């Protein structure tokens, strides 16, 4: 369980708590690992930018290689699941036949 106080749900109590935090009468809440919530939020923002920045830096060949590796791993998981279910490893999934209304 967390060691920090829970923020009040009442608007007036929350405003009072915030005013005490701003005035320095109370210490701000820290996360369980001792980090400031503001710092954690900023780190999250940087993480959201990371994938796009990485994609810009990679060449088309590198991106293609990464995509092939990811696809291979995805299909490997599917094959493992099929073996667990007792299906032959090279079998295709059952086809679905769509029925069309007569007269069309």
What's the confidence (pLDDT) of residue 29? Answer: 62
Element (H, E) at 14: helix 11-23
> Which comes out higher in pLDDT, residue 62 or 81?
62
What's the confidence (pLDDT) of residue 69? Answer: 94
What's the confidence (pLDDT) of residue 59? Answer: 94
What's the confidence (pLDDT) of residue 20? Answer: 81
pLDDT one-digit tens code per residue, 42-78: 776 667 777 888 888 999 999 999 999 999 999 888 8
What's the confidence (pLDDT) of residue 1? Answer: 43
Give the separation between CA 32 and CA 42, rounded to whole angstroms: 17
The answer to whether the beta carbons of residues 45 and 36 sit under 8 Å apart is no
pLDDT one-digit tens code per residue, 12-50: 888 887 888 788 777 666 666 777 766 776 776 667 777
Secondary structure of 57-91 as H, E, C letters: HCCHHHHHHHHHHHHHHHHHHHHHHHHHCCCCCCC
Q: Assign residue 40 a region: left if phi > 0, alpha if psi is -120 to 50, beta otherwise?
A: alpha
The answer to whether the beta carbons of residues 4 and 33 sit under 8 Å apart is no
Give the separation between CA 72 and CA 83, rounded to whole angstroms: 16
Which residues neighbour 31 within 8 Å (Cβ) at sequence distance 6 or greater? 37, 40
């Amino acid at each position: 369980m967390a060691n920090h106080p829970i923020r009040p749900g009442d608007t007036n109590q929350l405003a009072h708590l915030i005013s005490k935090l701003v005035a320095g009468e109370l210490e701000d809440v820290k996360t369980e690992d001792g980090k400031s919530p503001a710092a954690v939020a900023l780190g999250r923002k940087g993480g959201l930018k990371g994938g796009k920045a990485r994609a810009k830096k990679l060449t088309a060949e590198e991106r293609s290689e990464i995509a092939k590796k990811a696809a291979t791993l995805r299909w490997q998981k599917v094959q493992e699941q099929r073996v667990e279910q007792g299906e032959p490893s090279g079998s295709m999934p059952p086809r679905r036949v769509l029925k069309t209304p007569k007269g069309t």
